[in-house]
């Protein structure tokens, strides 16, 4: 189950490094158990140039640590990394504020 270890390592790394120059965060919620997740993506590794729009496409597999549901995000960006459209199978996108509200509820 190396892929699980790798995913959890990525989640931990997210909390350690704040906003890096090439890092961006995605916030999602599992569609089955509702676990909120913060996912760090790296512009150097995760973004593929989209030659038809001049922007970028991000494909990211995301697994939550509670029910281990696999979600798949597909996000289209323009050349300045603004989101043009986004889809998430198996869950839904949330905002950073929603993520923090959900995680603080859990700890309370």
Site for Zn ion, residues 53 to 82, rule: CB under 5 A: 64, 66-67, 69
Give, in order, the Cα–Cα distances in Å from 80 to each of 37, 40, 76, 87: 25, 18, 11, 19
Q: Does 33 bind Zn ion (CB under 5 A)?
A: yes
As measured in angstroms, the least distance from the Cβ of 34 to Zn ion is 7
The angle formed by the CA atoms of residues 8, 107 and 65, to the nearest 5 degrees, is 25
User: Judged by CB under 5 A, which of 7, 26, 30, 63 binds Zn ion?
Assistant: 30
Residues that bind Zn ion (CB under 5 A): 30, 32-33, 35, 64, 66-67, 69
């Amino acid at each position: 189950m190396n892929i699980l270890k790798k995913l959890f390592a990525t989640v931990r790394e997210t909390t350690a490094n704040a906003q890096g120059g090439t890092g961006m965060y995605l916030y999602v919620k599992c569609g089955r158990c509702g676990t909120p997740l913060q996912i760090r993506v790296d512009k150097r590794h995760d973004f593929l140039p989209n030659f038809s729009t001049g922007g970028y496409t991000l494909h990211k597999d995301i697994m939550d640590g509670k029910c281990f549901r696999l979600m798949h995000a597909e996000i289209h960006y323009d050349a300045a990394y603004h989101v043009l459209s986004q889809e998430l199978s198996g869950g839904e996108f949330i905002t950073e504020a929603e993520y923090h509200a959900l995680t603080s509820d859990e700890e309370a």
